[in-house]
Amino acid sequence: MNKLRVAIVGFGNVAKEALAAVRSAPDMEAAGIVLRDPAKVEAVWRETGLPVALDVSELGPVDGAVLAIASRAIPAVAPRYLERGIHTVDSFDIHGDAAMELRRDLDAVGKAHGSVAVICAGWDPGTDSVVRALLECIAPRGITYTNFGPGMSMGHTVAVKAIEGVKDALSLTLPKGTGLHKRHVYVELADGADFETVRGRILGDPYFCHDETYVFPCDDVERLLDLGHGVHMERKGVSACSHNQRMEFSMTVMNPAATAQVMVSALRAAARQEPGCYTMLEIPPLDYLSGEREALLHRLT
């Protein structure tokens, strides 16, 4: 079996878990790490024992890349890999129009260069999207409530950290029920930063401006850090002519590990698709799994 040679792009919490997932996959091998900051190269090399590069071309042949970077960086970074014929997977977590625009743009690049992108491949959007579709398959009419947390939102935390005046930050998602949420943002200020100014920037950011958001000053964000998260989905609807059909899906996870594992599974699936761009909803579930297809069908049917 030819193993997929995988590059890990970035080396934050998700990237480290993605590397562990690749190393444990029987059909993959780690080609190396790609970083933006040359100052971090030696430390990451010492930690991983893998080649660490500033450009993927320095890693030799690479089949796929796990883009463990901020969602807002994906539209600019993903095409660089797809243009080289390298499959990509990301955990782009901006729902709605932004995700569909990314899908359209990367689809054109992938088809032009014989490569595949799988976008929004985390657990929401991602596996939760697939579960929502299955619940709707069972009860086509009705309402699904997706309740997140309590837990750390990685995408929102990264967004806050990028705001001027922020030294460190943590964004927590707290469920209110029936699909409604509020956000608690803890901010460690950079030297000389004004809290009210920073607070205004956070509340005006697209990640937060549509949510009930509270911002708190904090002297040490690190002491608050817990990477756990979770989701509880509930659907009440109609199957055929029968009303009051109720179903639930729930999980509690270590957020970076779950996200990374889904991304690595989606990269396996990417290598099995025709060129273009896909969300997880568009890919057959068996394509995410390692193993012989008939054996998987026999075990899971």
Binding positions are 91-93, 121-125, 173, 183, 229, 255
Integer Cα distance of 194 and 31 in angstroms: 44
Question: Virtual CA dihedral for 88, 156, 259, 20, nearest 10 degrees?
Answer: 90
Written as one string, the DSSP assignment of 53-97 is ESSGGGGSS-SEEEE-S-GGGHHHHHHHHHTTT-EEEE-----TH
User: Distance from first CA to last CA of the chain, Å, rounded?
Assistant: 25
Please, is 292 exposed, middle or buried when counting C-beta atoms within 10 Å of its C-beta (0-12, 13-18, 19+)? exposed
Binding residues for substrate, as ranges, are: 173, 183, 229, 255
Yes or no: say if 32 and 47 are a contact pair by the CB < 8 Å rule: no
Q: Alpha helix locations (H) across the chain?
A: 13-24, 41-48, 74-82, 97-113, 127-138, 154-161, 195-204, 255-270, 293-300
Integer Cα distance of 247 and 236 in angstroms: 7
Which residues have a Cβ under 8 Å from the Cβ of 130 and sit 6 or more positions away?
280, 281, 285
| Helix, strand, coil percentages for the chain (3-state, nearest 5) | 40, 30, 30
Binding residues for NADP(+), as ranges, are: 91-93, 121-125
Yes or no: say if 31 and 5 are a contact pair by the CB < 8 Å rule: yes
Integer Cα distance of 259 and 90 in angstroms: 10
The tokens for 188 are: 């460690």
